[in-house]
Amino acid sequence: MDRMQTLAEIITRHAPATGMYGTPVGCLSLFRADRPTLPIPSVYKASLCLIAQGAKRVSLHDHSLVYDASHYLVVSVDLPLTGHIIEAGEGAPYLCCQIDLDLSALADLIIAQGLTARAAPTPALAVYPSDPDLIDAACRLVKLLDQPQAVPTLAPLIEREILYRLLTGPHGATLRHLAAADSHLSQVSRAIARIRGQFREQLRIRDIAAAAGMSESSLHEHFKAITRMTPLEYQKQLRLQEARRLMLAEGVSAGSAGFAVGYDSPSQFSREYRRLFGAPPRQDIDRMQMGRDYLNAA
């Protein structure tokens, strides 16, 4: 049986309706959508995303990529992307698995294999043609959902194989740079972690630069080169996405949501929210609730 068909059947069993599903395999999440969705901004973790059926477009500012069952997506650092499922239907739903990348395991594997970051890194967000060996390993990882007793023993071994396939594939140079403590990609990753942990607070560039081990000018230069936005723009997206989640999932008012994520001015919150999501807060949430299209999926 074709690997992707096998993967699609397993995902269908464990993701029976539209939504995101955690699994007993800690790094693995499953996603299903029975129809195309609106463009949805969300933060993607460093991960490998494999579509078994359907297609999706992801955008980082003005840069867009499309991937499907014949291509896979690699995200090297946590990025605020806009995802748009463009191919899905009741008879052929969008089916995807996301495998989060364990950066500690990645670093250990690089040392064990004696790999070095010789080549210039590829972009932090990239799509590549499917690799049969990588797909085979991912399929075996997802198959463990049918053998829960084998997960503690076999999942770490298969995860390590997946990391090896990525390290020796076209995205390997970027992942090796990410694991190198003194690389710009690794430093920006530390800056991102600091911003994500304190996104509600006032952003102080000198503190972020210090956490990353960079000068302020170097932080701005390399942060924008990797994420296509400034640290302030990155923080803004985190705030607005969390405000949207609070309103949609918890029924919080627009004013309370804006205040909860760090906005002092309701008018500024509404203005920036509309710029990102295309409508004022209340209108956007009503639209999402009526369409039932909100899917925080990879």
Higher pLDDT, 228 or 160: 160
* CB neighbours of residue 241 within 10 Å: 20
Tokens describing residue 192: 């991102």
Least confident of 156-165, 222-231, 282-291: 282-291
- Res 183: pLDDT: 80
> What global pTM score does this model have?
0.84
Tell me: the pLDDT tens digits for 84-116? 999 998 889 999 999 999 988 888 888 887 766
Chain centroid to Cα 109, Å, comes to 22
Q: How confident is the model at residue 287 (pLDDT cuts 50, 70, 90)?
A: confident
Question: What's the whole-number average pLDDT of the chain?
Answer: 89
- DSSP per residue, 228-289: SS-HHHHHHHHHHHHHHHHHHHH---HHHHHHHTT-S-HHHHHHHHHHHHSS-HHHHHHHHH
Q: How confident is the model at residue 117 (pLDDT cuts 50, 70, 90)?
A: low
Tell me: the pLDDT tens digits for 11-36? 999 999 999 999 999 999 999 999 99
Stretch 291-295: mean pLDDT, rounded?
Answer: 48
State whether residue 28 is helix, strand or coil: strand
pLDDT above 70 as % of the chain:
93
Rounded to whole angstroms, the Cα distance separating 242 from 200 reads: 10
Q: Closest Cα partner for 161 from 113, 221, 91?
A: 113
Above 60 in pLDDT, residue 1? no
State whether residue 182 is helix, strand or coil: coil
Rounded to whole angstroms, the Cα distance separating 55 from 73 reads: 11
Tell me: the pLDDT tens digits for 125-143? 999 999 999 999 999 999 9
**CATH (one of 4.10.260, 3.30.9, 2.60.40, 2.60.120) for 3-177:** 2.60.120
Stretch 176-203: mean pLDDT, rounded?
Answer: 86
DSSP alpha helices (H): ranges in 132-215? 132-143, 151-167, 172-179, 184-197, 205-212
Residues 6+ apart with CB under 8 A from 278: 284
Q: Closest Cα partner for 62 from 224, 190, 196?
A: 224
- Res 195: pLDDT: 94
* CB neighbours of residue 180 within 10 Å: 17
Fold (topology level) of 233-291:
Arc Repressor Mutant, subunit A (1.10.10)
Q: How confident is the model at residue 298 (pLDDT cuts 50, 70, 90)?
A: very low
Q: Closest Cα partner for 293 from 78, 19, 11?
A: 19
Q: How confident is the model at residue 193 (pLDDT cuts 50, 70, 90)?
A: very high
Cα dihedral 264, 77, 249, 241 in deg (nearest 10): 30
- Res 115: pLDDT: 65
Q: How confident is the model at residue 120 (pLDDT cuts 50, 70, 90)?
A: low
Q: Closest Cα partner for 49 from 64, 35, 29?
A: 29
- Res 141: pLDDT: 97
- Res 95: pLDDT: 97
The sign of the torsion formed by the CA atoms of 211, 212, 216, 221 equals: negative
Stretch 161-172: mean pLDDT, rounded?
Answer: 92
